[in-house]
Amino acid sequence: MVYDIIKLYYLKEYSFLLFGVILLKLSSFAYLAKYGVKTVLGMQKTPILGTVILTDKCNLHCKHCSVNNLTAVVHPYRQIINEMKQLYIMGVRILFFCGGETFMWQSEGKTLRDLVIEAKQMGFLIVNTVTNGTFPIDLPEADLILLSLDGDKPRHNAIRGDTYDKIIQNVNNATYDNICFYMAINKINKSAVKSVCALAKKMKNVRAVSFNFHTPYPDTKELALTKMEKAKCCKDILEMMKKGAPVFNLKSAFPYLINNSFPTPCKQCVVMENGKLSVCGRCIHEKGLCEKCGYFFVAEYTLLFGGNIKMIAEMLMTYLKYI
């Protein structure tokens, strides 16, 4: 009898919590849907997604990365907060924290967790962070932690050094199930797409997996995929999606990504680094790189806000499922 009462109490509490989460999702969705409609109709010109670069300092030197440890400067807390406020005033409601390695950021006794909490209090609807996964993962306040896993163990380690086992251990020990694997597909790991999909489906703390194609900066252009290789990767992703793999990408964008036929830059996205605001991403300043863009989200957002009906329907389903 006592056990049944306790069980009923916790079931009631859980129901209220779940209802609160659903209401929060719906309120966020309503805001984003309104923004989308106004953008499609040409009434909205402001960005919705913003990224703050906390530092370019990183403990790794990955083969495909062109932006790590260029200055190794850790941007101060007050500056980061001011940049967040500036993005919010501009209309940004989806916020990403990026590096370098975000979990290395510390300033004035503040850590990444403090920034995520303050971003939520500031009014951002979705707050995500990107990490290489080599530090303990205790960040339940983030909506998604995009964790770089670049293939199975041999291929990942070929790109990122001997880090695979440590990352898997950190994922298993994570305090919340808000992790999304984040794989940049290149010449080295192109045959490991299915492996990462299968692992994302298997691990309890992993909610999904998201892909990008390698964007070829001048010093990493040898890692770029051919059109045929991109098509094969998309075929593998689609096959795994049909098998129930939790892929946080929109399949309607695949043909555009294979052919690099989506509009660039994405004017709905901005990046803030050390007080400098860039439309779409840091790579916009590299001549000719936009035409070779491999970022799936850029294709998805430009097509979505261009009024692509299939993209809009697919985005609704994906957003409600994984965020």
Q: For residue range 216-248, what is the model confidence (pLDDT) as tens digits?
A: 999 999 999 999 999 999 999 999 999 999 999
Q: How far apart are the first and last CA of the chain?
A: 38
Q: What is the mean pLDDT of the chain?
A: 89
The span from the CA of 274 to the CA of 99, in Å, is 12
- In this prediction, residue 27 carries a pLDDT of 61
- Mean pLDDT score, 137-146: 98
Residue 18 has pLDDT above 90, yes or no: no
Decide: 211 and 174 in contact? Cβ < 8 Å: no
- In this prediction, residue 29 carries a pLDDT of 60
Find the range with the poorest average confidence among 147-161, 187-201, 308-322. Answer: 308-322
Q: What does the DSSP assignment read for 58-100?
A: -S---TT-SSSSSS--B--HHHHHHHHHHHHHHT--EEEEESS
pTM, full prediction: 0.88
Q: For residue range 166-201, what is the model confidence (pLDDT) as tens digits?
A: 999 999 999 999 999 999 999 999 999 999 999 999
| pLDDT confidence tier of residue 307, bands split at 50, 70 and 90 | confident
Quick one: CATH architecture of 47-58+68-322? Alpha-Beta Barrel (3.20)
